[in-house]
Chain A
Amino acid sequence: MRPVKAAFARNPFGWALPLTLAVFIGPIFLGLFGTLLPAFGLQPALGSFELSFDPWHDFFNDPALTKSLRLTLTVGFGATLIAVIIGFCSVAILFGTRAFGIVRSLLAPALAFPHASFAVGLAFLIAPSGWIARLISPWATGWDQPPDLLIVRDPDAIALMLSLALKESLFLVLMIVGALGQINAGSLLRSARSMGYAPARAWLIVIAPQVYAQVRLPIYAMLASALSIVDMAIVLGPAAPPPLAPMTLDWFRELDSGRQLMASVAAIFQLLLVIGAVLLWRFGEMVVNLAVRGPLTNGIRRGWAERIAGGVGRIGISLALVASVGAILMLLIWSFAGTWSWPGALPQRWSAAMWVRSGDTLVLLVWRTAIIAIAASAIATALAIFCLEAGIGQPKSRWLVILYVPLLVPQISFLFGVQLLWNRLWLDGTMVAVTLTHLLFVLPYVFLVLSDPYRALDPRIAIAARSLGASRLRTLVRIKIPLLARPIATAMAIGFAVSVGQYLPTLFAGAGQIDTLTTEAVALASGADRRLAGVIAFTLTALPFMALALVSLAPNRLGRANQ
């Protein structure tokens, strides 16, 4: 190695990569392994070492499997496809407008909205006795009492699919907005428009293909998540049978060891299903790519296509935002509802009784949820910073793909194995186990949020500091971290929000002994007491929002430093 190279290659943060891989990839592979063994009848802890395919036989002969699979594929592909259409069409029609600025400012809070509380709030909104039905009854519907319709938890999982699509479309818009910064979209769009192309058509032809290449991995992560969603499926999806992931969870919870072996098979099958689905999606991309080659260069400057796209985009993004705001309002109103009889649009009597009654429980849940989230996001942020200092995170770094692994592998496929791992370490059912398990899902988001601002920091600032004699660590602590205070705070807040919203990881790592706001909200969603569910789910929503609000207090020095 050349002397200069040797001097610069001595990176005091070189340990960050092996440590991150150890806490990041290690549990996933060990977890998958721990799930795989019981799927073949091997249970060393119970003294069973005989290879068996009986669990697979039982799994494939389960009478509910076919329906469950159909629901899983409907929700997975349906929600992802609708979210992609809404995401791209809405940015195409809004890009460069004042409305786009408003939508952008709402994206981070929307992303912080936990899936579980979104589902609970939405259920209160669209249920036959929900707010929408109340607002239009009886004058428009003639309903004197809540209709006997299966809107929520419908047998075909349409409510689940549409709800998930609306939630994920906001996530995708956020990803698209991030990708736009990489391709100089404004200039490209101006160039196309100067040739006479209508704005939306220009965006779809010139920008969308480049943006899609940048957001491909998040879309795959979205597909994997939609195929294996559990918390929203419990609240909004059908129960008999449910989609595959919640059905697997039910089996894991049963005392019958045969069912538990089937659950391991189902968890592994879920992974195979996601891999197959991603490959199928990739194939679909290639087909679409071939199909749109002609229209891309047919010279048509404006036509019906962008009008349809514009309509879909406007309606889709409006619905997503209205659903989010409506869900929050529902949670808040129900939490303070005293007497609220049909078809009143608002409670006849307001009351804080439920807040008072659940005070002690609520404080405990908030404390526990917040401690886990603060610890997970703080560890994740520290690891992300050290990894970035070690040079991981450069655009060409092969390690970047690894970050997506926990987002691409279905949670249910490896969390059972992770639980066994914690059990072996005498940690299952502890806050430590829950925090470390949350870390797997928090770190990718923290890293993704932090890496762009980190790379954007003028490298000469660090060179100047080090040329003044400051060590790498001192440069990091005294110069880089203060300058990156706002992005670091944002990354921590997003990490906090991700941790707060974790359902399955809390359930498995907590071994049913660690309740958080999320597990409680999901448990209460199917119960009769909407007021209590409102209190818990609203508090669950408020926590990440408060974290994001705190971010605004952090100084923003990055832009000034780079000037």
Chain B
Amino acid sequence: MTSAGLILNDVRLAIGGRTLFDGLCLCIAPGEIVTLMGESGSGKSSLIAYICGSLDTEFDVRGSVTLDGQDMGPLPIERRRIGVMFQDDVLFAHMSVGENLAFAVPPGVTRSERQTRVNDALVEADLDGFAARNPATLSGGQKARVALMRALLAEPRAMLLDEPFSRLDATLRERVRNFAFSTIKRRNIPALLVTHDRQDKSDHVITL
């Protein structure tokens, strides 16, 4: 087993005496996208929260998460560099599309370089000219693409996708999914997609 990529080792999540899952092992190589399927309440979103570091302290946890060989356990969420894309996009309503993207650019980048990265991201997402737009005025597909580009601008070492396409209609879902998968693969980062939609197939599908 290589240490590169995202590795879950013998993970158990329980809450209130109820075990959600136990003994979960998963290895996602760089550039690989793994789809995790499961019923409602099976612990899919809790697993996402566990990996990104936002799990509520009420959970009882065993096991470990490593990313490129580094144990994520002691790190707070902002130092893990794991991007998250949610079902509802979660764009910051008080910021324009451009500001949402600029927020994600790492510190230490000059203003002009920051602007360049934002513009490049908009072009890549086919949203050129949308920088000043209010997120509330975007369509579902546009919001999803902004959310993905925002997560990627933070230069994550892994991506977690928590049912990000489920609110889109079938045609749009396929387009956004293809865009997301190809963009993630181009950056050669490991990604875990949590979904209950059987159409969201990727490199590997596992069921919780």
**Cβ–Cβ contact A468 & B76, under 8 A:** no
Q: Any chain A CB within 8 A of the CB of B37?
A: no
The interface stretch among A125-133, A443-451, A477-485 is A477-485
10 nearest CB pairs, A to B: A3-B73, A561-B93, A468-B154, A560-B93, A466-B77, A468-B104, A482-B94, A467-B84, A466-B78, A464-B90
Question: What string of 1s and 0s marks CB contacts (under 8 Å) between B74-96 and chain A?
Answer: 11111111111010101011100
**Cβ–Cβ contact B78 & A472, under 8 A:** yes
Q: Any chain B CB within 8 A of the CB of A2?
A: yes
Residues of chain A contacted by B90 (CB below 8 angstroms): 458, 460-461, 463-464
Q: Taking A7-B75, A472-B78 as contacts, is the C-beta distance between A467 and B52 under 8 angstroms?
A: yes
**Cβ–Cβ contact B78 & A471, under 8 A:** yes
Docked Cα-Cα span, A478 to B76, in Å, equals 19
Residues of chain A contacted by B71 (CB below 8 angstroms): 3
Q: Any chain A CB within 8 A of the CB of B17?
A: no
Q: Any chain B CB within 8 A of the CB of A104?
A: no
**Cβ–Cβ contact B74 & A3, under 8 A:** yes
Docked Cα-Cα span, A555 to B52, in Å, equals 31
Residues of chain A contacted by B53 (CB below 8 angstroms): 4, 7-8
Residues of chain A contacted by B77 (CB below 8 angstroms): 7-8, 463, 466-467
The interface stretch among B56-64, B118-126, B172-180, B200-208 is B56-64
Residues of chain A contacted by B78 (CB below 8 angstroms): 466-472, 475
**CB contact list, A1-51 vs B, under 8 A:** 2-10
Task: Count chain A residues whose beta carbon lies closer than 8 angstroms to a beta carbon of B.
Answer: 34
**Cβ–Cβ contact B88 & A460, under 8 A:** yes
A554 to chain B, nearest CB (A): 12
B48 to chain A, nearest CB (A): 10
Residues of chain A contacted by B61 (CB below 8 angstroms): 2-5
- Is chain A's interface secondary structure helix, strand, loop, or mixed overall? helix
Contact residue among B59, B74, B76, B86 (Cβ-Cβ distance under 8 Å from A464): B86
Contact residue among B50, B52, B79 (Cβ-Cβ distance under 8 Å from A463): B52
Sample of 20 further A-B pairs with CB below 8 A, known A8-B55, A485-B94:
A2-B62, A3-B71, A3-B74, A4-B61, A5-B57, A6-B74, A10-B76, A463-B49, A467-B54, A467-B78, A467-B80, A468-B78, A468-B153, A468-B154, A482-B94, A483-B94, A555-B94, A557-B93, A561-B93, A561-B94
Q: Any chain B CB within 8 A of the CB of A465?
A: yes
A481 to chain B, nearest CB (A): 10
14 A-B pairs within 8 Å (CB atoms) are namely A7-B73, A7-B77, A458-B90, A460-B86, A460-B90, A465-B103, A467-B52, A468-B78, A468-B83, A468-B154, A479-B92, A555-B94, A560-B136, A563-B136
Residues of chain B contacted by A479 (CB below 8 angstroms): 92
Q: Chain B residue with minimal CB distance to A4?
A: B61
Q: Chain A residue with minimal CB distance to B60?
A: A2
B190 to chain A, nearest CB (A): 15
Q: Taking A470-B103, A479-B92 as contacts, is the C-beta distance between A8 and B76 under 8 angstroms?
A: yes
Residues of chain B contacted by A482 (CB below 8 angstroms): 94
Docked Cα-Cα span, A159 to B136, in Å, equals 54
Residues of chain A contacted by B156 (CB below 8 angstroms): 467
Q: Any chain A CB within 8 A of the CB of B16?
A: no
Task: Count chain B residues whose beta carbon lies closer than 8 angstroms to a beta carbon of A.
Answer: 42
Docked Cα-Cα span, A555 to B136, in Å, equals 15
Q: Any chain A CB within 8 A of the CB of B151?
A: yes
Q: Taking A466-B78, A467-B154, A468-B104 as contacts, is the C-beta distance between A8 and B54 under 8 angstroms?
A: yes
Q: Any chain A CB within 8 A of the CB of B106?
A: yes
**CB contact list, A184-229 vs B, under 8 A:** none
**Cβ–Cβ contact B52 & A557, under 8 A:** no
Residues of chain B contacted by A469 (CB below 8 angstroms): 78-79, 81, 104, 106-107, 154
Question: What string of 1s and 0s marks CB contacts (under 8 Å) between B27-66 and chain A?
Answer: 0000000000000000000000110111111011110100
Docked Cα-Cα span, A187 to B59, in Å, equals 32
**CB contact list, A387-403 vs B, under 8 A:** none
Q: Any chain A CB within 8 A of the CB of B150?
A: yes
Question: What string of 1s and 0s marks CB contacts (under 8 Å) between A543-563 and chain B?
Answer: 000000000000101001101
Q: Taking A460-B86, A463-B84, A468-B104 as contacts, is the C-beta distance between A9 and B52 under 8 angstroms?
A: no
Docked Cα-Cα span, A463 to B153, in Å, equals 16
Residues of chain B contacted by A465 (CB below 8 angstroms): 92, 103
Residues of chain A contacted by B74 (CB below 8 angstroms): 3, 6-7
Q: Chain A residue with minimal CB distance to B78?
A: A466
Residues of chain A contacted by B84 (CB below 8 angstroms): 463-464, 467
Docked Cα-Cα span, A469 to B151, in Å, equals 10
Q: Chain B residue with minimal CB distance to A467?
A: B84
Residues of chain A contacted by B107 (CB below 8 angstroms): 469
Contact residue among A4, A461, A472, A563 (Cβ-Cβ distance under 8 Å from B73): A4
**CB contact list, B138-185 vs A, under 8 A:** 150-151, 153-154, 156
**Cβ–Cβ contact B150 & A468, under 8 A:** yes
Docked Cα-Cα span, A483 to B64, in Å, equals 35
Contact residue among A3, A10, A555, A561 (Cβ-Cβ distance under 8 Å from B92): A561
**CB contact list, B102-129 vs A, under 8 A:** 103-104, 106-107
Residues of chain A contacted by B64 (CB below 8 angstroms): 3
Residues of chain A contacted by B106 (CB below 8 angstroms): 469
Q: Quick one: which of B60, B80, B90, B151 has the most chain A CB within 10 A? A: B90
Docked Cα-Cα span, A36 to B109, in Å, equals 62
Q: Taking A3-B64, A4-B73, A469-B78 as contacts, is the C-beta distance between A557 and B94 under 8 angstroms?
A: yes
Q: Chain A residue with minimal CB distance to B62?
A: A2
Docked Cα-Cα span, A485 to B95, in Å, equals 13
Docked Cα-Cα span, A523 to B12, in Å, equals 68
A278 to chain B, nearest CB (A): 33
Docked Cα-Cα span, A468 to B151, in Å, equals 6
**Cβ–Cβ contact A483 & B50, under 8 A:** no
Docked Cα-Cα span, A5 to B55, in Å, equals 8
Docked Cα-Cα span, A194 to B177, in Å, equals 46
Residues of chain A contacted by B80 (CB below 8 angstroms): 467
Docked Cα-Cα span, A483 to B106, in Å, equals 22
Residues of chain B contacted by A5 (CB below 8 angstroms): 57, 61
**Cβ–Cβ contact A7 & B92, under 8 A:** no
Q: Taking A3-B73, A460-B90, A472-B78 as contacts, is the C-beta distance between A467 and B50 under 8 angstroms?
A: no
